[in-house]
A and B are shown apart, each in its own frame.
Chain A
């Protein structure tokens, strides 16, 4: 069965610290996609990144970077020099395709609190 595990329920850091959010997934599909979404205190869900199973290159976008390792079934997210505005709940998700249509399986989320 498809599964996404975000073992870190809550992380607290002080501004300017680097922080890594872990995501471990399980799937029997050979083709799949992984996603990260951010949910700030205002409640909306903001898409951050999509990565397919054939592309293991790390990605960097400003202070954000993602490390995808198929060998360990992990798709970790690092925020460099964290800021208070990074405080949010972050969700990792895995695509699941079936004949009836595709959907996302979400992890339970990691709440990040960045203190000034």
Chain B
């Protein structure tokens, strides 16, 4: 049972344009959401997060939007740069009582073209 889904395995965007990566979740107990960026053969790098009490969080070129009623979040990258080309993972966390455990989506490969 895939509780966090990234239905687009890949996305190609022209440099300077907006990249929009989408993520859906099914578990209503999730209350903290994160985006990670991953290059091949490296560990994921944390990008941005959002708590369920917010619907938007912005950090530089990166903005995450959360729609709790639709159980949907998205990551906007504006403007997109060639260095943004990587695999992006959405992750979600719920209150487990002892440790925050992340459930990851399968990732979306973003390619930013010149």
Q: Do A and B bind each other?
A: no
Q: List residues of A whose CB falls within 8 A of some B CB.
A: none
Show the binding face of B for A, using Cβ within 8 Å.
none
